[in-house]
């Protein structure tokens, strides 16, 4: 009987955890229960832990007696592969395991701000500008909201 355990380097693997797995207090699936699955864009470990806790609380996961396992998952992290395998066993219909799943792309929080600079003395004409692909020269200035307000006043 080979049990699906997390990597021994994972923080979740403690003497207490292993003792509870050995005595059957924590019921983990057997390696033979694991089936191949597709997960092209796995979520972060934090998101995996949240999803796994939610999935283990479903009635379909009652045979694993998940209360103590949930406590361990909430206290300590585990490796991504083990979390993915458990999550797939608990709820294989999640969006992460669908072939057409694509994660949401976060838009950049920075606001584009145009600053006109007086270049009568030619200082910026002779400056070496960083190249930003395809031969375009860009100068990227990032200001805080207070600095932007001050510049607009001038």
Instruction: Give the pLDDT score at 81.
Output: 93
Q: What is the pTM of this model?
A: 0.64
pLDDT tens, position by position, 1-20 = 799 999 999 999 999 999 99
Q: How far is CA 131 from the centre of its chain?
A: 31
Residue 45 CB contacts under 8 Å (≥ 6 apart), including other chains: 77, 78, 80, 83
154 residues of the chain, pLDDT tens digit each: 799 999 999 999 999 999 999 998 998 989 998 888 888 889 999 999 999 999 888 877 666 678 888 999 999 999 999 999 999 988 888 999 988 888 887 665 555 555 566 667 766 665 555 544 444 445 566 667 777 787 777 7
What is the spatial distance between Cα 113 and Cα 150, in angstroms, rounded to a whole number? 13
Instruction: Give the pLDDT score at 135.
Output: 45
Three-state helix/strand/coil letters over 57-82: CCHHHHHHCCHHHHHHHHHCCCCHHH
DSSP result, 107-153: PP-PPP-------TT-HHHHSPPPB-STT-B-------HHHHHHHHH
């Amino acid at each position: 009987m080979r049990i699906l355990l997390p990597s021994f380097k994972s923080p979740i693997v403690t003497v207490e955890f292993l003792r509870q797995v050995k005595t059957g207090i924590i019921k983990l699936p057997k390696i033979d229960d694991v089936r191949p699955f597709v997960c092209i864009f796995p979520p972060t470990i934090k998101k995996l832990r949240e999803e796994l806790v939610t999935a283990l609380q479903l009635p379909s996961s009652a045979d694993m007696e998940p209360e103590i396992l949930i406590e361990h998952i909430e206290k300590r992290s585990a490796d991504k592969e083990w979390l993915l395998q458990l999550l797939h066993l608990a709820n294989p219909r999640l969006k992460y395991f669908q072939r057409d799943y694509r994660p949401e792309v976060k838009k950049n929080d920075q606001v584009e701000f145009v600053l006109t600079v007086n270049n009568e003395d030619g200082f910026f004409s002779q400056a070496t500008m960083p190249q930003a692909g395809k031969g375009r020269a860009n100068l990227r200035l990032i200001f805080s909201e207070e600095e932007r307000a001050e510049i607009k006043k001038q």
